[in-house]
Amino acid sequence: MSRHRRRQFLIASGALLAVPLAAPFARAQQARRVYRIAWPAQTPRPGLEHLIAALEQGLRDLGYVPGKDFVIEVLSAEGKTERYPEVVREVVQSKPDVILTGTNNNTTAVMAVTRSIPIVMAIGTDVIGAGYAKSLAKPGGNITGIAYDVGAGILIKRLELLKEIAPGISRVVVLWESKLKPYQTPLDEAARVLGLRTFWHEFSGNPERDFAEMTRLRADAVYLPDSSVMYSQRAEIIALAAKHRLPAAFSYSEFVEAGGLMSYSPNTAGLFRSAARHIDKILKGAKPGDIPIEQPTIIDLAINLKTAKALGLKIPQSVLLRAERVIE
């Protein structure tokens, strides 16, 4: 074989060999990575759909296509606290790209199982005191996201609004969980200025039992902090508040939409939508510990006029004018 013909043969052979190898490689290059965002939740899924939709919309706004670029996998303990550790372990073992959490109960449980998978929290409270971050600007670990609270000020303002809406109250039961403890002193001091006496009762997980204790304490109002467990039992809590004719202040507007009297808090769906920005940065390669934790800038006041009427309360016009949502 001449040198010229031999060179042509080698080139042709190389081209033939390249075809079956190049095609699969090209297809692999064209395949889109579908990122998995997992949410181990305590609340039954139906009560979370609007939050899932908010997160999905936040990712859409950033150019992600559901099903093609990402999937949101929700595994719920269906309101059963004892099942939650098992749910968290199952999610961690599935090795998602990002784990989404809601309140501190969720975040603490997930942090106890993994320090490597990125965690994005949507409703963090006292995040530095809880050990989730060294600072808001540079968290330093595997957790970032949104800090739901902006200090004791929002809790105090919620109490002030409750007193303004129900001026006749004097004995308020704070149905609390341990994470609210750092705010007990400023809240008690604010209550004294308002002429209120506060009674701190730790939530037992059994609303019937808790409201029976409120009756024993002769409470004439109830104040609830943020809690994923209480959130999942909000229908029962609202019904008991109505049964005992107790004006109640809540942390989530979802309580008001379901029949609660009032709430003063960041918009929950807005927080989940904002969490999409943190997820986006992680999917693009940023470390959670380098992504600043955000604080909400807009606080919503929601009032249920039907509930106020049932309790014999007339909402002052000055309060109604401040409300972002008035439910009739």
In whole angstroms, how far apart are CA 32 and each of 65, 67, 70, 158?
11, 10, 10, 47
In whole angstroms, give the CA distance from residue 82 to residue 34. 32
DSSP code at position 252: -
Q: Are 30 and 68 in contact (CB under 8 A)?
A: no
Cα 269 to Cα 119: distance, rounded to the nearest angstrom: 18
CA atoms within 13 A on the CB side of 110: 30
Beta strands in 42-131 (DSSP E): 70-76, 98-101, 119-124
Strands 221-223, 98-101: pairing is: unpaired
pLDDT over 70 (residue 2): no
Q: What is the pLDDT of residue 181?
A: 66
Distance, in Å, from the CA atom of 81 to the CA atom of 225, rounded to the nearest integer, reads 18
In whole angstroms, give the CA distance from residue 159 to residue 134. Answer: 30
Does residue 237 surpass a pLDDT of 80?
Answer: yes
CA angle at 107 for the pair 266 and 44, rounded to the nearest 5°: 75
What is the 3-state composition of the chain as percent helix, strand, coil, each rounded to the nearest 5? 45, 20, 35
Determine contact, residues 169/247, Cβ cutoff 8 Å. Answer: yes
**Type of residue at 296:** P
More confidently predicted of 68 and 226: 68
Residues 50-76: what's their mean pLDDT?
Answer: 97
pLDDT value for 184: 87
167 Cβ partners below 8 Å, 6+ apart? none
- What pLDDT shows up at residue 298? 80
CA dist., res. 308 & res. 328, Å (int): 10
User: pLDDT at position 177, please?
Assistant: 76
pTM: 0.77
Whether residue 270 contacts residue 296, with contact meaning beta carbons closer than 8 Å, is answered with yes
pLDDT band at 158 (very low <50, low <70, confident <90, very high): very high
Output the DSSP codes for 134-193. Answer: S-SS---SSEEEEE---SHHHHHHHHHHHHHHSTT--EEEEEE-GGGGGGHHHHHHHHHH
The stretch 116-131 carries a mean pLDDT of 92
Evaluate the CA torsion angle 9, 11, 17, 20 in order and state its sign.
Answer: negative
**pLDDT above 90 for 24:** no
Range 209-232 average pLDDT: 90
Among 113, 30, 91, 39, smallest CA distance to 276 is for 39
Q: Where residue 150 falls among pLDDT bands split at 50, 70, 90?
A: low
Q: Mean pLDDT across the chain, nearest whole number?
A: 88
Contact, 194 vs 220, CB < 8 A?
Answer: no
Domains and CATH numbers, the chain: 35-149+268-290 (3.40.50.2300), 152-266+299-327 (3.40.50.2300)
227 or 246, higher pLDDT: 246
Most confident of 31-40, 75-84, 144-153, 307-316: 307-316
Cβ–Cβ under 8 Å, residues 98 and 35? yes
The tens digit of pLDDT for each residue in 277-298 reads 999 999 999 999 999 999 987 8
CA–CA separation, 42 vs 227, rounded Å? 10
CA 252 to chain centre: 10
- Residue 106 has which token pair? 């969720």
Looking at 159-168, 223-232, 303-312, which range is the least confident one?
A: 223-232
Predicted pLDDT at 178: 63
For residues 48 and 281, what is the distance between their CA atoms, to the nearest angstrom?
24
- Judged by DSSP in three states, 249 sits in strand
**pLDDT band, very low/low/confident/very high, at 21 (cuts 50, 70, 90):** very low
Predicted confidence band of residue 87 (pLDDT cuts 50, 70, 90): very high
